[in-house]
Amino acid sequence: MNFWKELPKPIFVLAPLADVTDAAFRRMIAKHSRHTRKDGTEGGPDVFWTEFVSADGLCRATPEGLEKLMADLKYMEEERPIVAQLFSSNEEYMEKAAALCADLGFDGIDINMGCPDKGIEKQGCGSAMIKNPEKAAAIIRAAKRGAPNLPVSIKTRLGYNKDELEEWLPLLLAESPAVVTIHARTRKEMSKVPARWERVARAVEIRDALKSETLILGNGDALSLEDARQKVSATGADGVMLGRAIFGNPWLFHPEKDISNVTLEERFEALIEHTRLFEELLPHKSFAVMKKHYKAYINGFDGAHDLRAVLMEQDNSEKMADILDNFLKANK
């Protein structure tokens, strides 16, 4: 079943961010962004994405390694619809991994063809797929074979060293993915230049000219839901994927709440809750991963800089909770 066809537009989705949108943080987002969505269901973003997971690893890992990878595929029912993002340049492994994700109950499969990490590219994956369109097509077909009842989508960029949208997008659309999410920068640009949303508008024109039913989502520099709505209006895209704006802001997808308007007590409570979930769900991960969120949670108020410096020295939620409690008492 292609759940994408049932979603009211515009569609606002959670980006897959390695070591950010893990099981703990997604659970926070599901809780704190929960509202009545346009289709009448209760939830946060219209669609959740997992962190990206190596299809090769899922097929070849040792039992210990597989356990760690499977932790990246943990989810709860409140996160539906949820899409598992995979990467691979091996068709056999992609097919098997897609089948595994179908068995795990995911609502869709997404293939990463945009990650600029050199380690990922050395495997022929991520952005490297843009340079190998025949392989990209084969990988899409493999995912469809592995999960024939699930919609398969693609996340990619405008091009590799230069903008290749005019050539690259039609090749992807020829494989009839349910969705193509376009990060509106090239691989070479990374995130060093502003996202070019006029190219997302062009992607919509290309899709329409080819009479494709694939949805087009834009990605890059969307700072809030309101900003995302404006980008949809300006481009004609079917929706927006929000990424970096989610840091320390599990309220991002709530129509009325945001980190800018919750109380300091609420913010601290959320950080403590988030950290405890991280310890509970992801005990194998370094605590440094959790600290990525501190700058966003602890920001924009008197004393934030010094408080954050103290928190960065801690290594568990109990110490952190005591420090935050003492800060609130001292600043009443």
- The set of catalytic residues is 115
DSSP class per residue in 17-39? -TTTS-HHHHHHHHHHT-EE-TT
**What contacts 138, CB < 8 A, 6 or more positions away?**
91
- Determine if residue 146 is labeled as part of a ligand binding site: no
**What contacts 80, CB < 8 A, 6 or more positions away?**
43, 48, 107
DSSP class per residue in 188-212? TTTTSS---HHHHHHHHHHHHHTT-
- Determine if residue 314 is labeled as part of a ligand binding site: no
- Which pair of structure tokens corresponds to residue 260? 């800018």
Distance from C-alpha of 149 to C-alpha of 123, rounded to nearest angstrom:
28
- Determine if residue 183 is labeled as part of a ligand binding site: yes
**Other beta carbons within 10 Å of 168:** 25
Distance from C-alpha of 106 to C-alpha of 83, rounded to nearest angstrom:
6
The answer to whether 44 touches 254, Cβ cutoff 8 Å, is: yes
CA count, 13 A, side-chain hemisphere, 191: 11
The answer to whether 143 touches 151, Cβ cutoff 8 Å, is: no
- Determine if residue 243 is labeled as part of a ligand binding site: yes
Say whether 152 sits in a helix, a strand or coil.
Answer: strand
- Determine if residue 155 is labeled as part of a ligand binding site: yes
Tell me the one-letter amino acid at 87: F
Residue 295: name the closest of 274, 311, 272 by CA. Answer: 311
Q: Are strands 35-36 and 42-43 parallel, antiparallel or unpaired?
A: antiparallel
Residue 253: name the closest of 226, 230, 225, 274 by CA. Answer: 225
Could you identify the residue written with the tokens 């899922």?
Answer: 58
Residues within the annotated binding site for FMN?
A: 85, 155, 183, 243-244
